[in-house]
């Protein structure tokens, strides 16, 4: 009987250990369910790297879940290229799922978070704009797609008066939401995996907050006569583990390498 393994592949960070520890926490929770014989993590920035993780496993069949919010340069170019550098690559079956952020369940997860923020801050949906902030990159045309698609689905939920999207590294920029938001309350949800520098410092500063080095999200305050709540990254929600599990256990996704019989 073939042994199976799950690899959680994330961008990671060499300077913010909490970002990588978050993904390791996902792996521990998934390992406890014993759905796979092995559960491991791999990082673009961190150890083990994508190019070595397969050689650390004994499984014959490996499912790789990109713990990333969107298709793009790292999930579609870097990850497959680096996995192919493992010595075992040609002898095993490797299947890559879609990135976590493209799963249909993300809309439900974000909607739940949004409703909780409304309650916590005693805001009315009819007076509130929801802004999703994706990373985005000009290096890959599809890096924006998951954020736009999630915003579209949330509009269908009729959660609030307005749903907009912006990006850290693409257009429209983060700052633009202060102009495009048309309601007195603005809830900003970073469509990111962890509360690293982008979520904890970059987004708040670009919106007009002055976060300290030990900032604790969410942040709330008045900016340009509007009440703004800047939430934690989507990946900080406990429900993200359920999304990862469903991706990993549902057949589908490209087979990167089919072992020879």
- Can you give the length of the chain in residues? 261
pLDDT over 90, % of the chain: 74
Give the per-residue pLDDT at 108: 94
Distance in angstroms (rounded) separating the CA atoms of residues 9 and 73? 14
Do 72 and 133 sit in the same domain of this protein?
Answer: no
Q: Which of 40, 61, 59 is nearest to 50 (CA)?
A: 40
119, 25: one domain: no
| pLDDT for the residue numbered 216 | 83
Mean pLDDT of the chain: 90
78 plus 126 within the same structural domain: no
State whether 127 and 198 are in the same domain: yes
Q: What mean pLDDT do residues 227-242 have?
A: 94
pLDDT at residue 251 tops 80: no
Q: 63 and 175, same structural domain?
A: no
pLDDT of residue 107: 94
Q: Do residues 109 and 212 share a domain?
A: yes
Which strand (E) or helix (H) includes residue 112? helix 105-120
CA–CA dist 25, 41 (Å, integer): 10
Residue 252 has pLDDT above 70, yes or no: no
Q: Measured between alpha carbons, how far is residue 213 from residues 17, 122, 201, 206, 217 in Å?
A: 15, 28, 8, 15, 12
What is the tens place of the pLDDT at every residue in 50-77? 999 999 999 999 999 999 998 888 898 9
> Quick one: average pLDDT of 114-120?
96
Residue-wise pLDDT tens digits, 21-37: 999 999 999 999 999 99
Range of the domain at 111: 104-236
Nearest CA to 142 out of 206, 195, 110, 98 is that of: 98
The CATH number linked to 117 is 3.40.50.1400
One domain for residues 110 and 229: yes
**What is the CA 119 to chain-centroid distance, rounded?**
24
**Residue 256 scores a pLDDT above 80:** no
149, 90: one domain: no
Distance of CA 154 to the CA centre of its chain: 17
Q: Are residues 156 and 230 in the same domain?
A: yes
Give the model confidence (pLDDT) of 71-82 as tens digits.
888 898 999 999
**Is the pLDDT confidence value at 86 over 90?**
yes
pLDDT bucket at 188, cuts 50 / 70 / 90: very high
Residues 114 and 193 placed together within one structural domain of the fold: yes
Query: Per-residue pLDDT for 129 more than 60?
Result: yes
Same domain for 119 and 220, yes or no, is yes
Count: domains in the chain: 2
Q: HEC string of 143-166?
A: HHHHHHHHHHHHHHHCCCCEEEEE
Return the number of other C-beta atoms located less than 10 Å from residue 11's C-beta: 24
Predicted local distance difference test score (pLDDT) of residue 260? 46
pLDDT of residue 261: 44
Residues 123 and 77 reside in one and the same domain: no
Inter-residue contact 68 to 37 (CB < 8 Å) = no
Question: What global pTM score does this model have?
Answer: 0.90
């Amino acid at each position: 009987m073939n042994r199976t393994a799950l690899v959680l592949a994330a961008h990671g960070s060499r300077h913010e250990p909490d970002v990588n520890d978050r993904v390791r926490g996902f792996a521990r929770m998934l390992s406890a369910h014993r759905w796979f014989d092995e559960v491991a993590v791999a990082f673009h920035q961190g150890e083990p790297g994508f190019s070595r993780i397969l050689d650390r496993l004994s499984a014959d069949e490996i499912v790789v879940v990109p713990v990333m919010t969107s298709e793009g340069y790292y999930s579609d170019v870097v990850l497959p290229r680096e996995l192919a550098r493992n010595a075992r690559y040609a002898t095993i079956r490797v299947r890559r799922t879609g990135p976590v952020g493209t799963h249909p369940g993300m809309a439900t997860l974000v909607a739940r978070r949004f409703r909780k923020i409304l309650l916590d801050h005693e805001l009315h949906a009819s007076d509130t704009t929801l802004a999703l902030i994706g990373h985005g990159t000009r290096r890959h045309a599809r890096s924006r797609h998951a954020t736009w698609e999630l915003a579209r689905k949330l509009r269908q939920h009729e959660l609030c008066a307005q749903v907009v999207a912006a990006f850290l590294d693409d257009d429209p920029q983060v700052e633009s939401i202060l102009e495009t938001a048309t309601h007195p309350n603005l809830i900003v949800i970073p469509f990111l995996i962890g509360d690293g520098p982008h979520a904890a410092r970059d987004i708040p500063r670009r919106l007009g907050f002055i976060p300290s080095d030990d900032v604790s999200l969410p942040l709330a305050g008045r900016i340009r006569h509007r009440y703004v709540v800047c939430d934690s990254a989507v990946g900080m929600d406990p429900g993200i583990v359920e999304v990862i599990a469903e991706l990993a256990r549902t057949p589908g996704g490209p087979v990167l390498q089919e072992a020879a019989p």
